[in-house]
Structure 1
């Protein structure tokens, strides 16, 4: 079987990302390294990318890939976790909001914006997870971060329910978007449902259920190069591969690039590195599995 690569699991509601990894351990030989890129909350469903073998070293490329979500936001109340799993507090005296006002508020969220993560998040505050502090009733004060929202599409709106499709960058919390949208409109808001449709090139149309059999899972593996789409690349010779694995630079006739991918003649990943003035300096070398 393929010894390194990626697998997309269509995560179901009510389980953690770690639960999915634990179940996936049954699909691979013992002691296979497994990890996931881009945690999903228990309430959320959809694309969870697992890496196995040497591909675990490439999870950073998965995590920084653009993402697409479909979400249902509930207006007229707030949640201490900013989603339906938290303690819901209705807002008294609020009236339905016009769709035009929602669109105006949405447009103000496009681009590079400052966002405060939810108190119930995995970010650390003085060495402790924010959600652990929040569950104890502690005041959690998280610093705002700059995130990117590329596009928000209004799919359906019937007060108090709003359905959106959101294209965004790394580190974006959809729960914070729901909270901030509700605050801007003066009615409160939280995430009722959340589906991750895509991370980069990883999508639901080639995924498996967490309940899949080993045979079903192993039929839909993705190659090591899957999260590296879009990076410049070339195929190199066996001698050049040996030089790279001995830590040497090699000469390549390509344009300079901060990140450059080299492959063997069969298209298998050899290394990622920097290409400057025709010299390729590897920063991440994939050892031979032969």
Structure 2
């Protein structure tokens, strides 16, 4: 079987578990995905089968689009609602105008540090394994492209954003960075 399936990945499932399911159901050995979605993320996960796996490298380079809700005033260790709260702040001073101004800082080529809870490797181990063991390591920031970043909703303390970005951009890190810039902390809802 050859081709590309656009799977609507449900909340709580890993990209790898979706690939395993497609492999089992299709009987095809060559199955891979074109970009990891966090377990707490929902949305389209391109899964390639057979000869379709030859285009994965091109799909990985293509821009990605995300819609996310950011809750200001709550920071977590995972940068999303699945994590342990690490700090709370007062988001009452954030106006729509202040938020729009802050978003300007995250368009174009940005520096971004991957979260501890990510698949990025450190010493051959995924960071999330180290984090689960209580080990926090220094992570190198990376340059990432954010082509478009729009505020599509604001009901304090929750903002809805739409992002078009290059590969390797962490929307969770973007939420955390916004919270730091605005001085109250933030995480994905």
TM-score by length of 1: 0.63
Alpha-carbon distance, 1:191 to partner: 0.7
Identify the residue that residue 101 of structure 1 maps to in structure 2.
Answer: 98
Alpha-carbon distance, 1:96 to partner: 3.6
Say if 2:158 is the partner of 1:161: yes
Alpha-carbon distance, 1:86 to partner: 0.8
Aligned residues: 189
- Distance in 2 (alpha carbons) for counterparts of 1:49 and 1:23: 14
Say if 2:66 is the partner of 1:58: no
Identify the residue that residue 114 of structure 1 maps to in structure 2.
Answer: 111
- Give the secondary-structure state (helix, strand or coil) at the position aligned to 1:102: helix
Runs of 4+ in 1 over 2 A off after TM superposition: 92-96
Identify the residue that residue 133 of structure 1 maps to in structure 2.
Answer: 130
Residues 1-290 of structure 1: matches in 2 within 5 Å?
3-28=1-26, 30-192=27-189
Alpha-carbon distance, 1:135 to partner: 0.9
Contact 1:72/1:163 (8 A) holds in 2: yes
TM-score by length of 2: 0.95
Structure showing greater relative contact order (alpha-carbon pairs closer than 8 Å, 6 or more residues apart): 2
Which of these two proteins has the greater Rg computed from alpha carbons? 1
**In terms of mean alpha carbon deviation, does 109-118 or 30-39 score higher?**
30-39
Identify the residue that residue 243 of structure 1 maps to in structure 2.
Answer: none
- Give the secondary-structure state (helix, strand or coil) at the position aligned to 2:146: strand
Q: Structure 1 unaligned runs (5+)?
A: 193-290
Contact 1:119/1:141 (8 A) holds in 2: no
Q: CA RMSD in A?
A: 1.3
Contact 2:89/2:183 (8 A) holds in 1: no
Alpha-carbon distance, 1:116 to partner: 0.6
Contact 2:72/2:91 (8 A) holds in 1: no
Alpha-carbon distance, 1:58 to partner: 2.1
Contact 1:82/1:175 (8 A) holds in 2: yes
